[in-house]
Amino acid sequence: MALSYSDYVTQLATLAVVPATDPYFLTILPDAISYAELRIQRDLDLLATVVSDTSSYSTTASQGYVNILPSQFISVQTVSVTTPSSAVFPLVNVSKEYIQNVFNGNTTGTPTYFAMYGSGTDTTGLNNITILLGPIPDATYPLTITGTERFATLSASNTPTYISTYFPDLFLIASMIYVSAYQRNFGKLNDDPQMAVTYESQYQALLKGATVEEYRKKFEGPAWSSRSPSPIATPPRS
């Protein structure tokens, strides 16, 4: 069952054994949500976080790199270039040393390779993710960049979310790990030293099933299929 924001607050308060209107509970609630959402997105590498941007970026003639905003992409997966004939070609990912040595800063043409370089600073002082291109573009080419993003967080004005809809159990348990820290139940001398341990072990158990589902969505299940893992049949087929 999908969790709306109000459902989430009520159920989390019940698990934490505090009133849902408790001012201290409401104070830490945004941090508990952020902790749970970020942990789930990092642990699962969700297919639904993959997005493509077809209009924001393009090459600059005689400039062998392009900067993208880290606030837009957590990780870059593919880069494609659109030629004047409207043909779209995916660039091949290589190491930055390959581009630096093979093209040596003076070979121009339509880019065919890209490499993740690091961060640079734009005119506003913000750090960007820098992508090296090879050969160095000889003209302006539109780029399509595909990568992962962060979901908008659950709140009273944004409900429900992808995580609260498809991973409500994992979301609540991850939130309780954070709440346990707030209630100081992490150490052996605290009121309930097993509280955090119990929720962490339950989170890990739920994570295993969710991980299998994500692999299936990406056709990374058994034999690169979307099938669930199954015990080996007895006797096996010859």
Q: What is the DSSP string of 184-237?
A: T-SSTTSS-THHHHHHHHHHHHHHHHHHHHHHHHTT-SGGGSSPPP-PPPSSPP
CB proximity list for 171: less than 8 A, separation 6 or greater: 3, 8, 36, 37, 40, 163, 164
Compute how many other C-beta atoms are within 10 angstroms of the C-beta atom of residue 87. Answer: 9
Residue 47's H or E segment, with its range, is none
Task: Tell me the CA distances in angstroms from 69 to 57, 72, 96, 119, one per residue in order.
Answer: 10, 5, 19, 10
Over residues 36-47, the pLDDT tens digits come to 999 999 999 999
Residue-level pLDDT at 104: 81
Peptide bond into 160 cis (omega under 30): yes
Residue 146 amino acid letter = T
pLDDT tens digits for range 169-214: 999 999 999 998 887 654 444 455 566 678 899 999 999 999 999 9
Q: Extract the residue ranges of the chain whose pLDDT is less than 70.
A: 120-127, 184-196, 233-238
What is the distance between the alpha carbons of residues 78 and 146, in angstroms, rounded to a whole number?
Answer: 5
Q: Are 21 and 185 in contact (CB under 8 A)?
A: no
Angle at 59 between CA 148 and CA 132, to 5 degrees: 65
The pLDDT of residue 203 is: 95
Q: What does pTM read for this prediction?
A: 0.83
Task: Say if CB 175 and CB 35 are below 8 A apart.
Answer: yes
φ, ψ of residue 136 to 5 degrees: the values are -65, 130
Q: Is 26 helix (H, G, I), strand (E, B) or coil?
A: helix
